[in-house]
Structure 1
Amino acid sequence: MKTTLSRLALGCAAAALATAAQAQDKTLTISVYSFAQDQYKEALYDPFEEICGCDVVVETGNSVERMAKIEANAADPVIDMAVISTQDALALAQKGLLAELDTAKLSNFDKLYDSAKDPNGDGMAVGYTYYASSIVYRSDLLEIESWGDLLSDELAGQVALPNITGTQGPLTLMMLDRAMGGSGDYAPVISTIGEHADDIVTFYSRSSELVQLMNQQEVIAAPVGKFAWGSFKEAALPFAWADPVEGQAGGMNVMIMTKDNGNEELAYQFMDYWLSTEVQTKVAEMQVDSPANKEVVVSDEIAENLTYGADVIDNLNIMPAADIVEQREAWVEQWNTEVIQ
């Protein structure tokens, strides 16, 4: 009898250990932008790990690096889900690298603004944040009235522009085009930037890089997404958010899932949690991301630092993702020839 009981005890212990090991092996690998990771850890990653009993592995980088990794590992995905721009999501979808999303598995889907539900019209992306893009500048040194001021003599040697391959690149082309008369042909805009290339401190790829340059006073004006505004607002230097006569550019970042990653259910659980009113409110109150969940309510003070509410979203100058995908190769070729010499 003692032997039988001992065997039963050992069996139960082994089963418990196996269950614990399975929980520890439950891992979700996500690819995200590099900014505000401490805030995301507090508001999103750590609470989700508690809920799911899993580990969240976070990989960061710029858009080009992260897209390349997804493409290089298409046969055996190492990324389960990612957040990325609408145009990059469309480019990956056109290469057959993304899974079509089953939105029935997202309990918070109906809480989203309509434009966030299927922004690319292919069922492979869902918006989680909107962003305005304008010009951050040193308000004690100058006043920005137009996107065209970025190429003015006054700012020569003190301005940064986004690289054409980044999220802000095409938006900056669009707004500079409007400042130059609005032909809709961005080739002359790229040529003009090329003529001023020696006056540009850098063509940045990461907003974190720009924050550092502006805090070091090497740059006093640059286009940037509102999602990075918190880093400037909290700085010791007097930075301001411009309201140019041409208006603000804007866009949306989306969630995507890699095709055949084998971890779909956990990815859906994480995506749904991120879209929840609870998490979207937390992130908004931290002034990290602007909510795509229309149930989120924040104070007027916080709203001023976000791309918040239907009225604001409806007035953004948003370039269709398809336009960017179709023309990006030509833009990059011209950029490399005339700007990056």
Structure 2
Amino acid sequence: MSSLAMLASITAHAADTMYVAGFGGSVEAAFRDKIIPAFEAKAGIKVVYVPGNSTDTLAKLQAQKGKQEISVAIIDDAPMSVAVDAGLCEKLEEGSNSKNVYPSARRPGGQAIGLGYGATGLVYNTQVFAKNGWAPPTSWKDLEDKRYAGKMVIPPISNGFGLLALIMEARLNGGSENNIDPGFAVMKRIAPGVLSWEPSPGKMAEMLQTGEAAVGVWGNGRVRTLVAQGAPVKFVYPREGALVILSEVCPVKGAPQPQQAQAFIQHLLSPEMQAIFTEATGLGPVNKETKLAPALAADVVYGPDNVARLVKTDTKVINANRAAWTARWNREVER
């Protein structure tokens, strides 16, 4: 059934209320002001948005298993793997918009699908680099450059960006998620030059903005926000690739309004709603038909060339090993 036919079939249930869980902040505002009203007008159903981070939403789904209240859940890829493995997500029905989603945004099995692309790469302070006559960083290997000793900031392994940096270093040095030793070897070499393993996004932004830190590892969305505030920083897609952070959405298994949930996800994947989601989040659109204004397109993961530069990770292996890696990190790297 097409998404339009699906919408038509559910219009009679105007008194129903459907709960959608997703991120807070500017994302919540975009959903309340633009994304949800457009769906309600077509579907004749009331939609209530439940804000929270991915961990919060996953915990709610786990606690409500068998008596779900949330019908659509928006979660980042690693916790989404936990949700799918726990049987919390229903299989997504293919529709007119999901068929235009890039292959790399599709989850095997089809119980969830990407909603927006983020990239983890390098960030640097342009003024500090210009003052020192340094060329901009271009490679993950630049993190080992002795010139940056004491001027480098990287989030810890408890933060997704630090974890992805560890995995990328493993991959570039003969390892992988299944052989993390080479990654730890590189991070131990890097550690003496790290000014701070900074977990706070606010503190990290301050260090990069003031030039206390000259270079680091961060997400393109975080850097985009900092640039908008006037900070002299720039995001770099390393030549070896930037690691993807994929926000995903799933129809919740056993939840009320299952057909409306399927239709809402197709609505989210439409080119128009993808553009709104990108503007609110800084996450690049997964629907290849989405059109963005040039200024916004230059700021996010957009188009087949940029999507092809993203490196996917095995979230199932990461989830299984994260506790052991964290203990090892605390012993060997961040001492």
In the alignment, residue 275 of structure 2 is paired with which amino acid?
Answer: T
* Structure 1 vs Structure 2 CA RMSD: 3.3
TM-score scaled by structure 2? 0.77
- Count of matched residue pairs: 312
Asked if the contact 1:64–1:165 (Cα under 8 Å) also holds between the matched residues in 2, the reply is no
2:6 aligns to what? none
Distance 1:224 1:47, change over 3 A: farther
Residue 72 of structure 1: how far off its partner (Å) = 3.1
- Residue of structure 1 aligned with 2:51, choices 59, 73, 84: 59
Residue 336 of structure 1, CA deviation: 4.3
Task: Classify the secondary structure of the residue corresponding to 1:80.
Answer: strand
Task: Give 1:108 deviation, angstroms.
Answer: 1.6
Which stretch of the first structure deviates more once superposed, 255-264 or 153-162?
153-162
Q: Which residue, out of 195, 201, 204, partners 2:196?
A: 201
Residue 132 of structure 2 aligns with which residue?
none
Q: Measured at CA, do residues 215 and 178 of structure 1 come closer, stay the same or move farther in structure 2, by a change above 3 Å?
A: same
Provide closer, same or farther for how the CA distance between residues 256 and 286 of structure 1 changes in structure 2, counting only shifts above 3 A. closer
The answer as to 2:182 corresponding to 1:168 is no
Could you tell me which runs of 5 or more consecutive residues in structure 1 were left unpaired when the two chains were aligned.
Answer: 1-21
Deviation at 1:286, TM superposition (A): 5.9
The residue number in structure 1 matching 2:64 is 73
**Is 2:113 aligned against 1:121?**
no
Mapping 1:172-183, distance limit 5 Å: 172-177=165-170, 181-183=173-175
- Written as runs of structure 1 = structure 2, the 5 A alignment for 1:1-341 is 23=15, 26-32=17-23, 36-51=27-42, 52-61=44-53, 63-103=54-94, 106-116=95-105, 119-142=106-129, 143-150=136-143, 154-156=147-149, 158-177=151-170, 181-184=173-176, 185-190=179-184, 193=187, 196=191, 199-204=194-199, 210-211=204-205, 214-215=208-209, 219-284=213-278, 288-339=282-333
CA 246–225 in structure 1, closer or farther in 2 if over 3 Å, else same: same
- Provide the C-alpha distance between the structure 1 equivalents of 2:155 and 2:57, rounded to a whole number of angstroms: 17
In the alignment, structure 2 segments of 5+ residues that lack a partner are 1-13, 130-135
Tell me the secondary structure at the aligned position of residue 244 of structure 1: coil
- Kindly indicate whether the alpha-carbon contact (under 8 Å) linking 1:227 and 1:290 is maintained by their aligned counterparts in 2: no
Instruction: Give distance in 1, aligned partners of 2:89 and 2:280.
Output: 30
TM-score calculated relative to the size of structure 1: 0.76
Q: Name the CA shift for 1:297/1:154 in 2 (closer, same or farther; >3 Å).
A: same
Take 1:321 and 1:92, find their aligned partners in 2: how far apart are those partners?
Answer: 12
Alpha-carbon distance in structure 1 between the residues aligned to 2:158 and 2:240: 23
CA contact (8 A) 1:229 1:305 kept: no
Structure 2 distance, partners of 1:152, 1:271, is: 45
> Residue 135 of structure 1 contacts residue 241 of structure 1 at CA under 8 Å; is this kept in 2?
yes
Bigger Rg over Cα: 1
| Shift of residue 79, structure 1, vs aligned partner | 3.4
Q: Which stretch shows the higher mean deviation, 36-45 or 293-302?
A: 36-45
- Amino acid corresponding to residue 234 of structure 1 in structure 2: A
**Identity across aligned pairs (percent)?**
24
Q: Could you tell me how far 1:81 is from its partner in structure 2? A: 2.1
Cα 1:186–1:280, aligned 2, differ >3 Å: closer, same or farther? Answer: same
Q: Counterpart amino acid of 1:88?
A: P
Cα distance change of structure 1 residues 30 and 212 upon mapping to structure 2, 3 Å threshold: farther
